[in-house]
Amino acid sequence: MSPDAPDAFGLLVCPVCGDGLARRAGGLGCPAGHSFDLARQGYVNLLTGNARSGTADTPDMVAARAAFLAAGHYAPLTGAVARAAAEEAPGTVLDAGTGTGHYLAAVLDALPGATGLGLDVSKFALRRAARAHPRARAAVWDLWRPLPVRTGAVDLVLNVFAPRNAAEFHRVLRPGGTLLVVTPGPDHLAELRAGMLEVDADKDERLDRALSGHFRQVDRVPLEYPMTLTPAEAADAVGMGPSAHHAERRASTGASPAEPVRVTASFRLSRYRPA
């Protein structure tokens, strides 16, 4: 990042006292003296005390997801997310649940002047996210806690297959800002989910209900296309996405086909404004 470009770390506040964070040797610190180390890989760890690390992605899960995304099977989704974000022309992007930073990087590519901050509870994912884009920064955080982000400082909150903290998303967004949520559609990987937990038919309604006190929906765009996956990729596809935190689900798919399989990719891109 060039020295005069805005730094997305500037969106952060001290998670202990709420004051601003500034660069200091080896990390970030607030005026009261709370300090947070910058990892060698470039992300900052803001979690103090007992993190809910039990829900964090493991190195194996992160590697599988990165390989799957690199193979391009979700490229149409990535492109749709980047286009939807670019339409909003945000200057600051918060990717809540950034994972490896894949979608945030695509969004920043489509927005030459923007900076992005990715939050995720998995430091293994953030090792990649911190390097995903020159204008991206990454911080370890639990999305269910109050976010360590300045009030009204974010133009676009991006939320792809990740937990949604409606009250906090609303607080950090500027008035007129945008929340862009990606969820699986009802037929997502339907061919692979035989005998597994079904995707709720009313998932869209539950999403709207969960956000309704804080956001109003602008639109919802479905995206559906076929993918041809190897058996290993099929297992990874089931293990990632909305259920990525349940590692045991990967093993439970059991009947991996020996031949490449054609499966349905199905997503919903939902756009909201603060109510």
What distances in angstroms separate CA 188 from CA 224, 232, 263, one per listed residue? Answer: 8, 17, 8
Residue nearest to Zn ion (CB): 14
Query: Is the Cβ of residue 5 or residue 17 nearer to Zn ion in the bound state?
Result: 17
What distances in angstroms separate CA 128 from CA 82, 101, 125, 140, one per listed residue? Answer: 19, 7, 6, 12
Query: Is the Cβ of residue 13 or residue 153 nearer to Zn ion in the bound state?
Result: 13
Q: How far apart are CA 119 and CA 141, in angstroms?
A: 6
Tokens 């080896």 belong to which residue? 26
Query: Is the Cβ of residue 37 or residue 205 nearer to Zn ion in the bound state?
Result: 37
Query: Is the Cβ of residue 27 or residue 242 nearer to Zn ion in the bound state?
Result: 27
Nearest approach in angstroms of CB 13 to Zn ion is 8
Nearest approach in angstroms of CB 123 to Zn ion is 21
Query: Is the Cβ of residue 16 or residue 63 nearer to Zn ion in the bound state?
Result: 16
Query: Is the Cβ of residue 17 or residue 75 nearer to Zn ion in the bound state?
Result: 17
Query: Is the Cβ of residue 46 or residue 154 nearer to Zn ion in the bound state?
Result: 46
Nearest approach in angstroms of CB 93 to Zn ion is 25
Nearest approach in angstroms of CB 202 to Zn ion is 42
Q: Using alpha carbons only, how large is the chain's radius of gyration in Å?
A: 18
Nearest approach in angstroms of CB 189 to Zn ion is 43
Nearest approach in angstroms of CB 16 to Zn ion is 4
Residues in CB range of 222: below 8 A, 6 or more apart: 185, 266, 267, 268
**Cβ pair 168, 257 in contact under 8 A:** no
Contact residues: Zn ion, CB under 5 A? 14, 16-17, 30, 32, 34
Nearest approach in angstroms of CB 14 to Zn ion is 3
Angle at 271 between CA 103 and CA 82, to 5 degrees: 30
